[in-house]
Amino acid sequence: MVLYLGIDGGGTGCRAAIADAQGRILGRGEGGPANINSDPFGATASVLAATTAAIVQAGAAGRDLIAVLGLAGGGQSAAARAMEARLPFARRLVVNDAVTAARGALGPGDGILVAVGTGSVMAAQRGGQLQQIGGRGFLMGDEGSGAVLGRTLLAQAMRAGDGVIADTPLLAALREEFGGFEGIIAFGTTATPAHFAALAPRLVGSDDPAARAILDEATAQIADAVRVLQRGQDLPVVFTGGLGPVYAERLAGSCTVRPAQGSGVDGALAMARALAP
């Protein structure tokens, strides 16, 4: 029996679901971080762990599955094809997680997705075609993401310690917590994007001047991306991810905000069903 597997994987974790041809969910599973560009083999382990849990619930087998996986780093064609080669499914397609997230959040209609969690990506869907901005990873982009916010916060703590910018209670507290410059540098040397992103909640709702400035700059970057994607229109904007509600609230006055129709897993399952022969 042919079944469908949808997976949504990002820098913090991945989620899997198996459905039948009528869309009924037969099994679900979860796994760890799934960025196939920065950690391809760790991502493979996370995907297989999530899939195994879903297979057990569904009573399925890998050879029965038509799978679509929306994974962080999936926009890199070489990484996506290598990931496909490692998977034991009947058919499999690996795409950027923005593709499946947009399909799930927007359905088949036109709109803009702003997905901001550990990483970030923005995309406009028009007539079934997707235009993406960002999603280039922690080192080269991911503006407004939790990882970039956390990294920026620690960098500002050190700049304040040098006297280059004004110090604030939050920045001073971070230097003390991490054991000064050496502790911050040691942390940054081995930290993953998820480790940096764990610092982002300290900015949300904070009255600290540094926190406000960092979030203001991130919000401006998100707003710039939305403006480019709008192309002068007023497409509805869906905000998803752990930080999505933060930016939705901050940008509510400048765009039409709509709730998501579904999740990245829903989008992956819809795409998987479309692959059926």
Q: Which CATH number belongs to the domain containing residue 201 in this structure? A: 3.30.420.40
Check whether residue 179 and residue 168 sit in a common domain. Answer: yes
> What pLDDT score does 118 carry?
87
State whether 120 and 256 are in the same domain: yes
Signed CA dihedral, 48, 50, 53, 54: sign only? negative
Query: So what's the pLDDT on residue 72?
Result: 83
Q: Domain span at residue 181?
A: 108-260
Q: Do 38 and 113 fall within a single domain?
A: no
137 and 238 co-located in one domain? yes
Neighbours of 21 (CB within 10 A): 11
| 100, 275 contact by CB (below 8 A) | no
Q: What is the pLDDT of residue 244?
A: 94
Q: What is the DSSP string of 207-232?
A: --HHHHHHHHHHHHHHHHHHHHHHTT
- Domains identified in the chain, total number: 2
- Give me the pLDDT at residue 239, please: 95
Asked whether residue 61 falls in the same domain as residue 153, the answer is: no
Q: Which amino acid is at 226?
A: V
Assess whether 255 and 148 both reside in one domain. Answer: yes
What would the two tokens of residue 136 be? 């280039």
Q: What pLDDT was estimated at residue 220? A: 96
* Whether residue 156 is found in the same domain as residue 25: no
| Strand-pair category, 14-19 with 129-134 | unpaired
The answer to whether the pTM exceeds 0.75 is: yes
User: Do 163 and 230 fall into the same domain?
Assistant: yes
What pLDDT is stored for residue 1 in this prediction?
A: 73
Q: Are residues 242 and 135 in the same domain?
A: yes
In this predicted structure, what is the pLDDT of residue 143?
Answer: 92
Q: How far apart are CA 266 and CA 269, in angstroms?
A: 5
CA distance readout (Å), 136 to 16, 64, 142, 150: 23, 33, 6, 17
**Which residue in 250, 153, 136 sits closest to 209, CA to CA?**
153
pLDDT computed for residue 176 by the predictor = 96
Task: Assess whether 97 and 141 both reside in one domain.
Answer: no
**Relative orientation angle of helices 146-162 and 169-178, to the nearest 10 degrees:** 90
CA distances from 66 to 4, 61, 69, 167 (A): 5, 11, 10, 54
Residues 139 and 74 reside in one and the same domain: no
pLDDT mean values, one per 10 residues, the chain (277 residues): 90 90 92 87 93 91 87 86 90 89 89 91 87 80 92 97 96 96 95 92 95 96 94 92 93 91 92 84
pLDDT value at residue 112 = 95
Q: 134 and 23: one domain?
A: no
Q: Three-class SS of residue 152?
A: helix
pLDDT tens, 101-116? 889 999 888 999 999 9
